[in-house]
A and B are shown apart, each in its own frame.
Chain A
Amino acid sequence: MTARQPGAGLQTGLDRLRGRALPKNHDARTISALAANPGCARRALMDAAGVDKQRVAAHVGFAAQFGQSRFAIVRGNAFEAQVKENGAAQLLILLRDLLDLDVSEVGYADFNDVGGNSSAELRHLHTRHVLTAPDQPGRTLLDHPLLRLRVGGRHAYLEPDLIALRLDGTFHVIEVKSFAVIDGQADPGKVAAAAIQSAVYVRALRDLVTEAGGDPAAVSHKTILVAPRDFSSQPTAASLDVRRQLGVLDRQLSRIASIETLLARYPGTLTFDLDPDAQGRPRRPAAELAAAIGQVAASYAPECLATCELCFLCRDEAGGTTGALGKPVREDLGGIEYIAQARSLARGQVPAPEQAEIAAQLLRAAQLRAQVLGEAV
């Protein structure tokens, strides 16, 4: 990943896109959101440039409230603190079951600060120093180490909840989440989000190990998810295999690296600058900004509502298209772009030759529906 430093020309181009605003730094959440919709050029370009999407969306009239609720954050922090209290006593018992952790492996190291200093640079240096040391005396659980990952030419600092290290030298990323695992089942969406977030940490940790000349395989692709069991606050742990997420993430990260080709498709005047005044209030006409955004194609899917600040803008834009109904619908109606078009084909409109097959299917579906409902279409 270290080689993914963009050239000077590209950096100028990205700076121009961003305009006068300071770049937004990535964190584990935004990096995992990148992998959620890999086909979206708009998001790829804006994220690579570090555009403040929330402000841009608000300026063109599609403000989206983003971020975790305060209550969710408090609950998450409380559960994490509970799992980690007293030298992560609760977690050790779980890991002894799940990883067959030996009784002798109980070492606990705190990376929340270095000798009382919590600056990111110092913590990262300390983390690197400890993780790449030839021997790891008595260290099994590393609390909040600070990793970093190069995304679009800038370093994003990442803070996994815990890294477990076994005597045989493999690292396991541990993610503590506060959503409940009820009867062995959890919300699949949340598990997927946790998996991709863990994958981001695995990627960053592998980079760190590789940089130090180590073997990236020392970082296991099996991560550990710790969450409350049933309706209690007792933790339970499950193993997550994040190989697939790692693949998606790698593709996405390399796409950011190849953002140059994407950028070259657009005119050199394209910018998402808000033209802020001295107080930082945007002065750029909203219509002009909207037109600039419109130049870059988006790939809207309903899932965007959970991950992207521009979601309402793109949804509005995608109104009437089959994609707005979700990826399965778009795939089922392959080749038909608009909902209205699909409806008229279903009513018996004569299709274009390349749409003949799907038109026949639509017609049949409409007839079946009419039979069932007992009404004419």
Chain B
Amino acid sequence: MISIVAETIEVLERRIDELRVAVRQAVLAGDRALAARQRSALTSAERAWEDALEEAAAQTEADPLARAGPVARGSVAQGKAAQSRAAEPPARSGSLLPLREQVYEALSLLQVPAAPKLIATVHEAFFGATFPTTRVTSLKRDEERSFRTAPFARPYYICAALSADYLAPSRGLLAVSTWPLELRVIGSLSPRVDFLTAAIRVAEAIERIPEPPAAARRLLQRFAASVSGAISAGGGADPAAVREAARAELTVHREADAKARRVAAERARGLQHAEQLFGTAMFRDRAGDGAADGADIAGRGAGE
């Protein structure tokens, strides 16, 4: 337990160093607005560092049963630290992690490719911090650029899920590069299979937590509403019932989906590494993912 806290402190120290550099650069560049933003980020990072230190101290002193899990944490720290946190949203040091690590945390819980919105909701429910989904689109571009400049330099990359037909990046889905290709290709049944799998993962995660936070219960309720037979008679969502209902439907689709994914993954293995992670550029007419522009395109096609 102490080691986890210690690790968080180290992450925070690195973050504080980075922010100091950012503040210096912004001040020297004369960008007051940016400097002010970075300063406030720095202040909150320092406050979190103090909190984390206090917590670590409290843990070494007493209460060997105290758990530093994301949910139990609030009960551990006492006094001033707890008060200062109570005033803030239920954010913990996780919110100070870089975006890619937050996305990684959420995807690791789900274990299936997911859209930014779901990733953000899952992170909020289980890790106590959320982020604007708009930032996620640029994250994938950054990851791709980083991979192309120095392949495999990082232990993992936030990458694309590939559409099974053209092995192009599947619109709006993110995955983790260390996952097997079979998991990262998306056939026509895969969205449903992945949704049901995610429902099971969320239900299991909630079962592991003694007192699930409200955001997690809301998330489960939303999953339950879209799985036949998952809502219990009282209208509530019981993790075990959701898990069972999702499993029951999953058995219907699993085999056909796995077969399609195996075939597509086999084809994808013939691609270069960067394409395996970020998709082929066969027809691509734009960089990155490009959130669909839902606009009316009727005006675009000229008369023939």
Q: Which residues of A are in contact with B by a Cβ distance under 8 Å? A: 23-29, 50, 77, 80-81, 85-90, 92-93, 96, 103-104, 106-110, 112-122, 124, 137-139, 144, 146, 148, 153-159, 234
Contacts and interface: CB of A to CB of B under 8 A. Distances in A.
Nearest to A154: B303
B79 interface: no
Given A116-B169, A119-B285, A96 B228 contact: yes
Interface stretch (B33-41, B144-152, B292-300): B292-300
A110 B252 contact: no
B259 to A, nearest CB: 10
Given A85-B117, A110-B170, A139 B188 contact: yes
Contact of A87 (B166, B191, B290, B296): B191
A159 B296 contact: yes
**For chain A, what secondary structure do more than half of its interface residues adopt (helix, strand, loop), or is it mixed?**
mixed
12 contacts: A25-B298, A81-B294, A86-B226, A106-B191, A108-B192, A116-B282, A117-B284, A121-B301, A124-B301, A138-B256, A158-B298, A234-B225
B46 interface: no
Contact of B192 (A89, A115, A153): A89
Nearest to A89: B226
B165 A103 contact: no
Interface residues of B, number: 50
B189 A106 contact: yes
B74 to A, nearest CB: 30
Contacts, number: 137
Q: Enumerate the 10 nearest inter-chain pairs by beta-carbon distance, A residue then B residue, closest first.
A: A87-B191, A27-B298, A115-B166, A117-B283, A89-B226, A116-B284, A106-B192, A154-B303, A115-B283, A107-B188
A23 B304 CA distance: 11
Nearest to A82: B117
Contact of A115 (B191, B280, B297, B304): B280
Contact of B195 (A24, A87, A104, A144): A87
B249 A103 contact: yes
A25 B292 CA distance: 22
A108 B191 contact: yes
A23 B195 CA distance: 45
Given A116-B285, A120-B301, A121-B301, A110 B171 contact: yes
Given A113-B171, A114-B283, A116-B279, A90 B298 contact: no
A158 B300 CA distance: 11
Contact of B294 (A80, A116, A117, A158): A80
A28 B163 contact: no
